[in-house]
């Protein structure tokens, strides 16, 4: 009888515990949905919301850091040896990027704006002044030689001019000149043939105190997942540089904001005007930033993989069928014909050939991977590091003796890292 009573009592207690646990789970689920619903309604681009104010004038400090690859063996490279470079940096700039010319459209479902970026040099966060000298490839000369290599008469005239002025394949300029611009003698001379040419060259010429085009964003009013998603850029809903419709798509946000209530199985799409294309990031792991939970997302190697690895990337081969190896993107079509090749820093995740072709490349995931840490409930970026490398396609051009006997190589010029952290203190 006692055993029967104990069994009844135990069964009753277990039932109560299971009931309490069930109620707790239901209440927890209801509360979670309530919080998520509240966040979805608040995170909208409209006057009066915190989301709009943060979007219009980002409160977290953003820093842009540049590391240059200084060439140490120019004469040997002209004789056919592989380039040897030393990474020099950082040269750090505080980036300000307010949204300007804001104009709501279509009953508040869209908003037009330009994203003006201004860079202020930070001496205390840099290895040296902007007057530091860097020896690197002569990008204006290489661009001109590539464009006129099949026009023998003009090529001979240009080559003679370069010999007379002592202009060669490599050049030395200050950090400030290489970044923001300097008057180039060869480009200035060529204006007699092509008046539309600009005789100033800089890797980021005309990007300081300027914007990268006219955007129209979705506000998220109709669907929270559309928060800050790009509708059009420069009046177009797609690009025209690439050879397939998929590669010409403008997908996702501009990478500065994401919608709330993000899940681990989501793919986050971003449009990058720097790369002239859209790309995406996938979940890697849970992390915490100063006690705040976050999901770490990163672009997988498949994003920059060769078309043999990822057939969807065949459209990035320009001209069509002219494909580079994995880890590289030829952006010459959107860089005024300059033979610019973009890649992750130190050719991280690229074919090993590119790493071995240049002495001084040391790819490292921790230092060279692009990462975004996002709070999954609010969609707020807790930390981000966008890392890119600017390279030049270098080859021997028979009509220009200035190229000597150089081997064909993807020559690294500068790597950049745009870093954001809500926990960073302003200096």
Domain range summary for the chain, segments of one domain joined by +: 1-42, 43-421
| pLDDT per residue as tens digits for the range 55-92 | 999 988 999 999 999 999 999 999 999 999 999 999 99
SS3 355: helix
pTM assigned to the model = 0.90
Say how far apart CA 244 and CA 260 lie, in whole Å.
Answer: 31
Say how far apart CA 123 and CA 13 lie, in whole Å.
Answer: 69
246-268 average pLDDT score: 96
CB atoms inside a 10 Å sphere around CB 36: 15
pLDDT at 367: 96
| pLDDT per residue as tens digits for the range 89-135 | 999 999 999 999 999 999 999 999 999 999 999 999 999 999 999 99
pLDDT at 421: 77
Cis omega (within 30 of 0) for bond into 24: no
| Pair 237, 251: CB distance under 8 Å | no
| Pair 330, 318: CB distance under 8 Å | yes
Q: Residue 320 — very low, low, confident or very high, per pLDDT cuts 50/70/90?
A: confident
Per-residue pLDDT for 6 more than 90? no
CB atoms inside a 10 Å sphere around CB 297: 26
**Which is it for the CA torsion 413, 418, 424, 427, positive or negative?**
positive
pLDDT at 194: 85
| pLDDT per residue as tens digits for the range 276-287 | 999 999 999 999
SS3 213: strand
pLDDT at 23: 47
pLDDT at 40: 62
């Amino acid at each position: 009888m006692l055993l029967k009573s104990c069994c009844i009592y135990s069964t009753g207690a277990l039932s109560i515990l299971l009931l309490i646990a069930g109620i707790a789970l239901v209440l927890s689920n209801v509360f979670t949905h309530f919080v998520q619903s509240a966040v979805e309604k608040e995170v909208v681009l409209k006057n009066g919301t915190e989301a709009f104010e943060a979007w219009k004038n980002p409160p977290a400090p953003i820093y842009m850091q540049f590391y240059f690859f200084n060439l140490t063996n120019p004469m040997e490279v002209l004789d056919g040896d592989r380039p040897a470079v030393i990474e020099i940096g950082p040269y750090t700039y505080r980036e300000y990027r307010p949204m300007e010319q804001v104009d709501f459209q279509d009953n508040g479902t869209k908003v037009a704006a330009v994203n003006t970026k201004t860079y202020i040099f930070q001496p205390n966060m840099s290895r040296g002044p902007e007057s530091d000298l860097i020896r690197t490839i002569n990008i204006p000369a290489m661009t001109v030689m590539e464009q006129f290599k099949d026009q023998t008469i003009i090529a001979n005239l240009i080559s003679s001019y370069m010999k007379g002025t002592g202009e060669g394949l490599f050049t030395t300029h200050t950090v400030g000149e290489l970044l923001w611009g300097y008057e180039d003698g060869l480009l200035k001379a060529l204006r007699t043939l092509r008046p539309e040419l600009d005789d100033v060259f800089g890797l980021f010429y005309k990007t300081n105190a300027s914007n990268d085009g006219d955007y129209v964003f979705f506000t998220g009013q109709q669907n929270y997942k559309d928060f800050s998603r790009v509708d059009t850029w420069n009046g177009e809903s797609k690009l025209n540089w690439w050879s397939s419709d998929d590669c010409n798509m403008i997908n996702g946000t501009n990478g500065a904001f994401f919608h709330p209530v993000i899940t681990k199985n989501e793919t986050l799409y971003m449009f990058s005007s720097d790369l002239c294309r859209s790309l995406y990031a996938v979940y890697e792991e849970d992390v915490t930033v100063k006690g705040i939970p976050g999901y770490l997302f990163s672009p997988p190697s498949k994003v920059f993989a060769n078309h043999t690895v990822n057939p969807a990337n065949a459209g990035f081969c320009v001209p069509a069928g002219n494909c580079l190896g994995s880890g590289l993107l030829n952006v010459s079509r959107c860089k005024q014909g300059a033979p610019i090749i973009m890649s992750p820093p130190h050719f991280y995740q690229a074919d090993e050939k590119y790493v071995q072709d240049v002495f001084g490349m040391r790819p490292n995931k921790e230092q060279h991977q692009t990462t975004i840490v996002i709070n999954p409930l609010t969609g707020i970026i807790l930390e981000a590091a966008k890392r890119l490398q600017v390279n030049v396609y270098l080859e021997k051009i028979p009509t220009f003796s200035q190229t000597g006997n150089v081997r064909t190589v993807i020559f690294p010029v500068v790597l950049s890292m745009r870093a954001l952290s809500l926990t960073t203190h302003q200096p």
